[in-house]
Amino acid sequence: MRIAHINVVSSLSTGRIAVALCRMVQSSGHRALLCHARDHAPTDVPSLVVGSKLDTWLHAGLSRITDRAGFYSRRATRKLIRQLESYKPDLVHLHNLHGYYLHLPTLFAYLKKHDMPVVWTLHDCWAYTGHCAYYTTAKDAPSLSPQKRRRAETHTVGCERWLGGCGECVLKRSYPASLVMDQSARNWLEKRSLFNGLSHMVLTTPSQWLRDEVKRSFLKDYPVYVLPNGLDLNAFQPCASDDFMHEIVRSYGLERTEGRRLVLSVAAVWDDRKGLEDLIALAEELGDEYCVAAVGVDQYQMEMLEKTKVMGVRRTGNLNDLCALYTAADVYVSVSHEETMGMTLLEALACGTQVICYNATAMPEIVTDECGAVVPLGDIPAMADAVRSLCDQPRASSACRARAAEYDSDKRFAGYMRLYENMYRHSPAYREALAEAEKKTRDE
């Protein structure tokens, strides 16, 4: 098989997943190609870059005005199609198509023209909304019209307009941000038309929560499989050296935690849904006996946190450093309000650290009583009580590691290999290859 992966990045969370899947495909004796717009792919993974920095800047700039992310970069996408036609993939695996690098109509016209087997992993909610990638934290979203409401279930949390058609978007300035126009209603209609009608496409989600949301959307007629993201347990594991761990703690400015419990929280980007304000409130609630640290903040947030009881730490550039911080923590807390899985919870567990999260979206699917606690969304006193309880009666490091082991990348990604093989055997390309082999046998 020849499998082409398409994702906006070749690093960070979704990029690491795409790279790991490419490596798995290659180790199984097949060919893989990673098509990405940003970052540098590892040298052991065949790759090509979609578009240029100028293409991305133009796409992003126009989207900021017109609210049409995904509907520019036509030339870059045509070049990608020519490269794919040369590569002749037997299957295309889509990941994040947002990120200002693809022209959706061109890409999906190619997929439909060739009746291509497609696996689409939804890492967020953008595929079935008119604008946003996440919506449960939306405030003051207008209700659907009575006509649309009859066709949609009613939900009390966040925005529900994507159930029957977007418009009047209250998240217009959230990623992918539009500063001027609101075309969420048009985007929703065009996405519904573009994304439906592929006869050989299946969807995958990293959590049951996201699968349930997808089955309520205009993508509900496609098969949707829950295939949680895998974690490399060789990379994420408890820090083996106490000296190294203490050195890292000091180097990141956390030496002031001496004699206090360390409560850690990590995010690649601390945007609104990640709950930095909640973390500040938690630090106030816990008091001076605990040191609460936020890893991954930017310079502006660092300066803002100096006025609070939360210690800010810039993004770590080294995986060993991050594992040392996870290991040093007495408890890891996720104050995020919306996650389609919650990989930082798994990373902390893999390092033997107990975890706490909100009872929101997909996060409770990871946390069990044996490795941590789940508290009501936004209940800061309940989270503080959980922190104190776990620090006084900690969960065993072995139990945390055992929970993380259930998400071992080799085990989880093997499900994708089975899915690839099953789809290929039912694809037009497989039937053509089989017919060609039979013809060659007869001729001989």
Quick check: 97 and 6 in contact, CB under 8 A?
yes
Q: At 440, is the pLDDT very low, low, confident or very high (cuts 50, 70, 90)?
A: low
Quick check: 145 and 118 in contact, CB under 8 A?
no
| pLDDT at position 150 over 60 | no
Q: Tens digits of per-residue pLDDT, 103-117? A: 999 999 999 999 999
pLDDT score for 318: 87
Query: Which residue has 């003051």 as its token pair?
Result: 140
Quote the CA–CA distance of 59 and 277 in Å, as a whole number: 32
Work out the average pLDDT over 232-254.
92
pLDDT score for 57: 97
pLDDT score for 146: 54
pLDDT score for 428: 73
Work out the average pLDDT over 396-410.
96
| Tokens of residue 211, six digits | 């699968």
| Tokens of residue 187, six digits | 């985007």
Percent of the chain with pLDDT over 70: 94
Q: Give the chain's mean pLDDT.
A: 92
| pLDDT at position 340 over 90 | yes
Work out the average pLDDT over 233-253.
92
pLDDT score for 406: 96
pLDDT score for 126: 98
pLDDT score for 326: 97
pLDDT score for 158: 84
Quick check: 256 and 291 in contact, CB under 8 A?
yes
Q: How many CB atoms lie within 10 A of CB 144?
A: 21
Quick check: 160 and 47 in contact, CB under 8 A?
no
DSSP string, 143-199: PPPHHHHTTS---SSS--GGGT---S-TTTTSSS--SS---HHHHHHHHHHHHS--T
Q: Tens digits of per-residue pLDDT, 199-229? A: 999 999 999 999 999 999 999 999 999 999 9
Q: Tens digits of per-residue pLDDT, 155-167? A: 445 899 999 999 9
Q: At 436, is the pLDDT very low, low, confident or very high (cuts 50, 70, 90)?
A: confident
Work out the average pLDDT over 33-62.
96
Q: Tens digits of per-residue pLDDT, 168-180? A: 999 999 999 999 9
| Tokens of residue 301, six digits | 């947030």
Work out the average pLDDT over 110-125.
96
Q: Which domains does the chain have, with CATH numbers?
A: 2-230+409-443 (3.40.50.2000), 242-405 (3.40.50.2000)
Question: For 119-133, 152-166, 214-228, 284-298, which range has the lowest pLDDT when averaged over its residues?
Answer: 152-166
pLDDT score for 254: 85
Question: For 91-105, 252-266, 318-332, 345-359, which range has the lowest pLDDT when averaged over its residues?
Answer: 252-266
| pLDDT at position 88 over 80 | yes
Quote the CA–CA distance of 334 and 12 in Å, as a whole number: 18
Quote the CA–CA distance of 410 and 194 in Å, as a whole number: 34
pLDDT score for 162: 95
Q: 263-272 b/e with 16+ CB inside 10 Å = b?
A: bbbbbeebee
pLDDT score for 287: 95
